[in-house]
C-alpha cells in the first residue's frame, strides 16, 4: 500500500509519517518475520481510536521489533461481537486465502481484534495448526506460552462481559423509552419525522413521505397490485427509506406496519418477516407518538383486510412455489438473474393447471420469458458436463515448511563445520583416514541438502488430486453440488433470443476456471 491510497480521514502529518514508515519497512531484510496488521472499528466517535492512529501505532511497533509488514486488513464499521475474524471482508480473505503470506497478526488491542471467547479459542487453534502468532500492541500476548493463552482467554472474557453489559444497558434504555409517549431514540418509520411539541419530542408527518403513503393506501383500496404501486413511485422519483429503488415488498412492509397509524411499535426482525407489533402501555392501550397519524385506525384495518384478500387469492400458489434452480448462474443477456415463476389457469373441468417459466424481472414489453425451464436446465447441465466434466477435482491443503527449514538449517551448519575443518590448519586437515572420512561426510551432507526442495521450506498451499472428475462428483452430488460449484467459480449461462426468436444459451467460463474450481477445506468450526 502506498501513502496515496490511505483512507480520506488521514491528516497530512499522518500521511507523511506513513510514507516514512513504509520506506523503513521496505528496507527490512527479506527473511524478517512477516506481519499482517489488523485494524477494526465498529463506530468512529471522539472516544474511539481512529483507524489511522491504530495503523501508525502498529507500524511503529513492527519497525521496532523488526517485523516486515506485508499487508493491512482494514475492517471498518464491523462489530467484533457479530462477525468473527474469519468472517470479515478483508481479514477473512487473509485468513482463508492468503495464509502463507504472513507469519503473525498484529492488532492494536485484543478487543479491537476479537470479543467472543469462542472466537478466540477458534483463532488460537487455527494459529497452532498453521504456525502463526498473535501480537497485541496494548496487551502482553505471545501464543507460544500456555500461560499467555490462559491470560488471553481471561482478557477476552472481560471483553465479552463488557459487550454483554453494553447490550443490557441498551435493552434497558429501550424498555424504559418505549413506554413513553414521546420520541427519544431510533429512526421514525416511513412517513414521519421528529418534531418538538411543547417540551416533548414527538412525531409529525413528513410531507413528501406521508403523501406517498396516502397514495399507497388509496391504490391498494382500488385494487392496484403492490408492484405496480412501486413502479409509479419510482417514476415519480419518490425517495425510499433506504434511497433504493421501490419494490412490492417495501410497499407492503410500510402498509402492514402499525407504525403508519402513529403508534409505538417493536419487532420487525427478519425472523418474523418484518412484522412489527404495537407496544402497549400498562392499561393495554397502544402508545400514541403523534397527534397527526397518516392513517386512522379504521383506514389501517381496511387496508389490512384488502391486503389479506389479495393474499388469499394467491395462497394456493405459494404451496407449489419452489426456488429457482441455478439462481445466480442463469442470467438474461441484460445481466440480470432469471427467476423461475409459476402461473395457474383454471380449466373448464375445474382443474387448475400450473405453468412454469423463466423470466427476467427487469425486461418488460415484450420482456423475456422461456416457457420450458426444464429444457434450459437440461441444456445448462449438458453444456457444463461437456466443458468441465473431465476436469479433475483438486483439493487445497496447507503445508508448513518449518520441519524442512529446521532440517535445511541443520545441514547447512554441519556443512559449514566440516568445510572449516577441512581448510588449512583445520581439525580435519590431516593425512589419512580422518580427512577421508570428513570429506565423505561432507559429500553426504551436501547430497542431502540438494534433495530438499527450496519451496518445501516455505509455508504454502499444495493441491492434491482426489481421484475423481467433476462429472463423477456432480453425478453423485446432483444439481445442488453443481449449483454450489458453478456459483463459487463465477460461471454463468446467459440466455437470449436470436432475430428469428430462437432461444440461444451461452456458457461463460472465467479464464482461471481451474483455480476457481479447486475445493478448499473450511478451517473454522
Q: What is the pLDDT of residue 285?
A: 79
Residues 523 and 469 in one domain: yes
Pairwise CA distance, residues 444 & 423, whole Å: 18
Report pLDDT digits (tens) over 126-169.
Answer: 888 898 988 888 876 666 566 666 666 666 566 666 666 666 66
Residues 369 and 406 in one domain: no
Report pLDDT digits (tens) over 386-408.
Answer: 999 999 999 999 988 888 989 99
247: helix, coil or strand?
A: coil
Percent of the chain with pLDDT over 90: 30
Instruction: Give mean pLDDT, residues 488-517.
Output: 88
CATH code of the domain covering residue 12: 3.40.50.1390
**Chain-centre distance for alpha carbon 142:** 29
175 within a domain of the structure (yes/no): no
Comparison of pLDDT for 44 and 450, the residue scoring more: 450
In this predicted structure, the answer to whether residue 3 has a pLDDT above a threshold of 50 is no
In this predicted structure, the answer to whether residue 376 has a pLDDT above a threshold of 60 is yes
Q: What is the pLDDT of residue 116?
A: 80
Of 409, 440, 458, the last residue of a domain is 458
Q: What is the pLDDT of residue 388?
A: 94
Residues 204 and 252 in one domain: yes
pLDDT, averaged across the chain: 82
Report pLDDT digits (tens) over 456-468.
Answer: 998 999 999 989 9
93 within a domain of the structure (yes/no): yes
41 within a domain of the structure (yes/no): yes
Reported pTM:
0.61
pLDDT band at 413 (very low <50, low <70, confident <90, very high): very high
388: exposed, middle or buried (C-beta count within 10 Å: 0-12, 13-18, 19+)? buried
Residues 372 and 419 in one domain: no
Residues 472 and 327 in one domain: yes
182 within a domain of the structure (yes/no): no
DSSP 390: T
302 within a domain of the structure (yes/no): yes
292 within a domain of the structure (yes/no): yes
Of 458, 482, 502, the last residue of a domain is 458
337: helix, coil or strand?
A: strand
Residues 281 and 408 in one domain: no
Q: How many domains does the chain have?
A: 4
Phi/psi-derived region of residue 180, left when phi > 0, alpha when psi is between -120 and 50, beta in every other case: beta
CATH code of the domain covering residue 286: 3.90.1750.20
The boundaries of the domain holding residue 304 are: 192-314
Residues 361 and 262 in one domain: no
Q: State the DSSP H helix or E strand holding residue 395, giving kind and residue range, or none if neither.
A: strand 392-399
179 within a domain of the structure (yes/no): no
Q: What is the pLDDT of residue 48?
A: 54
Report pLDDT digits (tens) over 277-321.
Answer: 877 777 777 878 788 899 998 998 998 888 887 765 554 444 455
Percent of the chain with pLDDT over 70: 81
Amino acid at each position: 500500500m502506498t501513502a496515496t491510497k490511505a483512507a480520506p480521514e488521514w491528516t497530512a502529518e499522518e500521511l507523511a509519517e506513513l510514507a516514512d514508515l513504509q520506506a523503513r519497512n521496505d528496507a527490512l531484510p527479506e527473511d524478517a518475520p512477516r506481519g499482517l496488521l489488523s485494524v477494526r472499528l465498529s463506530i468512529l466517535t471522539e472516544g474511539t481510536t481512529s483507524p489511522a492512529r491504530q495503523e501508525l501505532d502498529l507500524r511503529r511497533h513492527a519497525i521496532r521489533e523488526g517485523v516486515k509488514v506485508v499487508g493491512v486488513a482494514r475492517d471498518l464499521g464491523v462489530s467484533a461481537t457479530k462477525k468473527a475474524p474469519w468472517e470479515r471482508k478483508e481479514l477473512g480473505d487473509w485468513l482463508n486465502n492468503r495464509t502463507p503470506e504472513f507469519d503473525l497478526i498484529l492488532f492494536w488491542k485484543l478487543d479491537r481484534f476479537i470479543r467472543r471467547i469462542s472466537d478466540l479459542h477458534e483463532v488460537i487453534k487455527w494459529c497452532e495448526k498453521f504456525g502463526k502468532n498473535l501480537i497485541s500492541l496494548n496487551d502482553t500476548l505471545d501464543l507460544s506460552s500456555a500461560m499467555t493463552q490462559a491470560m488471553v482467554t481471561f482478557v477476552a472474557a472481560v471483553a465479552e462481559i463488557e459487550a454483554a453489559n453494553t447490550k443490557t444497558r441498551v435493552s434497558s434504555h429501550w424498555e424504559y423509552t418505549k413506554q413513553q409517549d414521546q420520541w427519544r431514540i431510533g429512526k421514525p418509520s416511513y412517513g414521519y419525522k421528529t418534531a418538538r411539541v411543547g417540551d416533548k419530542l414527538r412525531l409529525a408527518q413528513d410531507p413528501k413521505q406521508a403523501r406517498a403513503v396516502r397514495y399507497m393506501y388509496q391504490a391498494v383500496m382500488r385494487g392496484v397490485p403492490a408492484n405496480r404501486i412501486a413502479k409509479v413511485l419510482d417514476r415519480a422519483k419518490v425517495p425510499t427509506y433506504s434511497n433504493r429503488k421501490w419494490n412490492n415488498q417495501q410497499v407492503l412492509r410500510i402498509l402492514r406496519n402499525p407504525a403508519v397509524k402513529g403508534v409505538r411499535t417493536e419487532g420487525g426482525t427478519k425472523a418474523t418477516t418484518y412484522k412489527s407489533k404495537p407496544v402497549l402501555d400498562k392499561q393495554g392501550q397502544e402508545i400514541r407518538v403523534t397527534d397527526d397519524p397518516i392513517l386512522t385506525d379504521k383506514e389501517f384495518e381496511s387496508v389490512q383486510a384488502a391486503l389479506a384478500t389479495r393474499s388469499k387469492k394467491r395462497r394456493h400458489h405459494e404451496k407449489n412455489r419452489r426456488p429457482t434452480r441455478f439462481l445466480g448462474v442463469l442470467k438474461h443477456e441484460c445481466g440480470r438473474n432469471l427467476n423461475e415463476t409459476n402461473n395457474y389457469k383454471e380449466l373448464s373441468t375445474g382443474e387448475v393447471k400450473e405453468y412454469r417459466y423463466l423470466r427476467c424481472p427487469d425486461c418488460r414489453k415484450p420482456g423475456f420469458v422461456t416457457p420450458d425451464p426444464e429444457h434450459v436446465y437440461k441444456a445448462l447441465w449438458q453444456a457444463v458436463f461437456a466443458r468441465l466434466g473431465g476436469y479433475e477435482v483438486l483439493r487445497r491443503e496447507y503445508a508448513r515448511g518449518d520441519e524442512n527449514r529446521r532440517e535445511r538449517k541443520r545441514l547447512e551448519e554441519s556443512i559449514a563445520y566440516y568445510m572449516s575443518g577441512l581448510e588449512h590448519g583445520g581439525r580435519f586437515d590431516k593425512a589419512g583416514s580422518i580427512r577421508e572420512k570428513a570429506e565423505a561426510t561432507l559429500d553426504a551432507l551436501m547430497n542431502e541438502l540438494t534433495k530438499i526442495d527450496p519451496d518445501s521450506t516455505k509455508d504454502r498451499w499444495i493441491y492434491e488430486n482426489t481421484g475423481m472428475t467433476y462429472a463423477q462428483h456432480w453425478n453423485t452430488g446432483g444439481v445442488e453440488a453443481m449449483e454450489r460449484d458453478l456459483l463459487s467459480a463465477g460461471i454463468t449461462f446467459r440466455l437470449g433470443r436470436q432475430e428469428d426468436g430462437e432461444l440461444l444459451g451461452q456458457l461463460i467460463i472465467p479464464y482461471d476456471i481451474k483455480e476457481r474450481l479447486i475445493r478448499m477445506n473450511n478451517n473454522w468450526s
